Amino acid sequence: MKRLAFQLLALTCMSFVGLSQANAQGDSGIVAVLDVAKVFKENLDFSNQMEAIRQEADRMRNQLQAAQEDFRRQATEISQLPVGTPERKQAEAAFAQRQATFQTQARQDETDLLVKEAKAYYTTYQKLQNVVGQIAQQNNISLVLRFDSTEINPTNPNEVVAGVNRAIVYHYKLDLTAMVIQNMGPTVAATPTGTQQR
């Protein structure tokens, strides 16, 4: 039994040696990992774009609330007009038209904002891909896998489940995140008053 185990071990070792030699002779190289979410979070250009989008969303929300208040006021005024009169019918028709126009514009503004957000993600990801490609070529890296480097909170069941389901279980000195963040350009530094370039 010991002899069989030794033979299996020897065959396994030989296959790893063969695999290593094949890798050295072929084009395949190193596999590395990258925390994409962290790169996005640390990138100053992306953070500035997201802040501008957030401010625009706040402005739209305030505008919507003000319009709703105005519509309520107008509806109250119309309700005080005598039912069935031409004046009330005309006021109701104009009110319905204003509401429809506002709702159409609000939906268009929301769509435009979502497109801006998608474009910010897309352009940042395109830049990230270019940076990762350059680093990979310079360091003989054949494959870069996405992973999550955040610590798992053991008291949060959702975080634990998400952590257990992560694709990358273990890596050793293969994290490109810091290098990619540096090569992506200016980064975000947290300050008491917000964010600043570092």
Short-list 18, 36, 35, 14, CA closest to 26: 18
* 129-182 confidence digits (pLDDT tens): 999 999 999 999 999 999 999 999 999 999 999 999 999 998 898 999 999 999
158: in domain: yes
Comparing 197 with 19, the larger pLDDT belongs to: 197
Confirm whether 99 is domain-assigned.
Answer: yes
Residue 93 lies in a domain: yes
Which residue's entry shows tokens 């790893």?
A: 16
Are 109 and 60 in contact by the 8 Å Cβ rule? The answer is yes
User: Could you tell me if residue 167 is inside a domain?
Assistant: yes
Answer yes or no: is 64 within a domain.
Answer: yes
Mean pLDDT of 54-65: 97
Angle, helix 86-138 to helix 44-79, in steps of 10 degrees: 170
**pLDDT more than 70, % of the chain:** 81
Helix or strand holding residue 178 (H, E) = helix 177-183
Q: What is the mean pLDDT of residues 117-125?
A: 98
User: Do the domain assignments include residue 16?
Assistant: no
Per-residue pLDDT, 29: 81
Domain span holding position 114: 27-197
**Domains: count for the chain:** 1
